[in-house]
Amino acid sequence: MPSRIVIIGGGVIGSSIAYHLKTRDAGSDVVVVERDPTYQHASSRLAMGGIRQQFSSKANIQLAQHSVRFYQRFDAAVGPFETGPINFQQRGYLFLVNKEMSERFASRVARQRDLGAHVERIEVDQIRRLVPDLVLDDIQFGVFGPKDGYANPRAVLAGFRHAAAGEGVQYVADEVTAIDQAGGGVSAVQLGSGTRLETQTVVNAAGAFAGAIGRMAGVDIPIHPERQQLFRCTLPHVWPYRFPVVIDPTGVHWRHEDSEGPDDSDRIVIARTKTDEVAGENFTCDMTRWGPDFRDPMVARLPALGDVQLVEGWAGLYEMTADHNPLIGEYPDLEGFHIVAGFSGHGLMMAPAVGFAVAELVVTGESSSLDISPFDVTRFERNEPFWDEAMI
């Protein structure tokens, strides 16, 4: 175990890594530097909270399945904590497939099953039983992952931080200003307060801001922030069933938001990725998109949602790479400098497995339990992106 490990970024990825490092070695010295302890703009806090294993690569499916198993026992193993349970609901992910998509999705589900994903093709009558109110005139079949689902993203973030701190991880509310080097490796992290943390092991888990941290170390990290918008709505009445995560061919997708108290209204959370979103740090929610981009396609698919009442909209950041997969590993030209970022919207769903794999990598020099080699941090330098078709 390295003498001191400094993790830059205390979000769900950084806190999961810290937690798994301490559970491997309770006596280890793990410090997490988080510039915003309120987590106002943390990507995981502002996320939809989806957790799925419906990917098209063995590496992503393996990470997702490990994470699903972890989230199944999260509340019992990690809680209780202030924000309450993560409330992981395995209500499934349902992709609706029209004629234009049918050949691609038929191949995808076959590949996913071959790779061990728990996923099934369901016919229109089965979709109708699962979500009775859907308009399915243009739908040829569905792809359903019954073990997939969603959790409360704020509780997941709070839970991982709570768990890590409970194991003895030190959290420092400060901003990194420089990364010192010596002998071809990192030697210290400089903070805005003037504190100098001597270390030979740095984990850059700064999410959408990982590129800026990389530049401090002289490392070009091809990750950029990109706005993702979501909306929360109140249903017109208590719905007679619970929605899975429903993904419409237009890209709009929604899930139930389970009430936390007996007087809470019945709500859903709705998301849709804007494929031509301009890169940059933008937390402003464009409310003009609510009608045409979110509500209208959702109501066209499920007319009974026509009377939903908008509660709020918000924007968080995706940490994007060119192939929409993360960078995970030690940078070969700077010893001790690890990059764990660029999850492109999948950080929360992969966090348990990534924390486990990176802790193993940092301690032993390799991740032998989970294969993270496809996420090699220099793959873009070699023009060898890692593609996984199953992105939303």
What DSSP designation does 89 have? B
What is the C-alpha separation between 356 and 368, in angstroms, rounded? 11
CA dihedral 123, 129, 134, 139 (to 10 degrees): 0
The pLDDT value given to residue 286: 97
What strands, in cross-sheet order, belong to the sheet with 309-320?
120-122, 139-145, 93-98, 245-247, 253-257, 267-271, 224-234, 309-320
Please state the pTM of the whole predicted model: 0.96
For every one of its 392 residues, what pLDDT tens digit does the chain have, with 9 covering 90 and above?
A: 678 999 999 999 999 999 999 999 999 999 999 999 999 999 999 999 999 999 999 999 999 999 999 999 999 888 777 778 999 999 999 999 999 999 999 999 999 999 999 999 999 999 999 999 999 999 999 999 999 999 999 999 999 999 999 999 999 999 999 999 999 999 999 999 999 999 999 999 999 999 999 999 999 999 999 999 999 999 999 999 999 999 999 999 999 998 766 667 899 999 999 999 999 999 999 999 999 999 999 999 999 999 999 999 999 999 999 999 999 999 999 999 999 999 999 999 999 999 999 999 999 999 999 999 999 999 999 999 999 987 76
Contact predicate 74/239, CB 8 Å? no
What DSSP designation does 28 have? -
CATH number of 93-147+225-320: 3.30.9.10
Q: Strand pairing partners for 326?
A: none
At 358 the three-state DSSP class reads helix
The pLDDT value given to residue 82: 76
What is the C-alpha separation between 131 and 144, in angstroms, rounded? 12
The pLDDT value given to residue 1: 67
Written out in words, the top-level CATH class of the domain with range 5-78+153-223+322-375 is alpha beta
Q: Strand pairing partners for 30?
A: 5
Map out the domains of the chain as residue ranges. 5-78+153-223+322-375, 93-147+225-320
The DSSP code sequence of 281-348 is: ------GGGIIIIIIHHHHHH-GGGGG-EEEEEEEEEEEE-TTS--EEEE-TTSBTEEEEE--TT-HH
Give ∠ CA 205-210-211 in degrees, rounded to 5. 160
Cβ-based burial of 327 (10 A; exposed 0-12, middle 13-18, buried ≥19)? buried
What is the C-alpha separation between 162 and 242, in angstroms, rounded? 30
Contact predicate 315/46, CB 8 Å? yes
Rg of the chain, C-alpha, whole Å: 21
What is the C-alpha separation between 107 and 102, in angstroms, rounded? 9
The pLDDT value given to residue 262: 63
Q: Strand pairing partners for 313?
A: 231
Q: Which two tokens stand for residue 93?
A: 């992910």
CA dihedral 119, 122, 128, 133 (to 10 degrees): 50
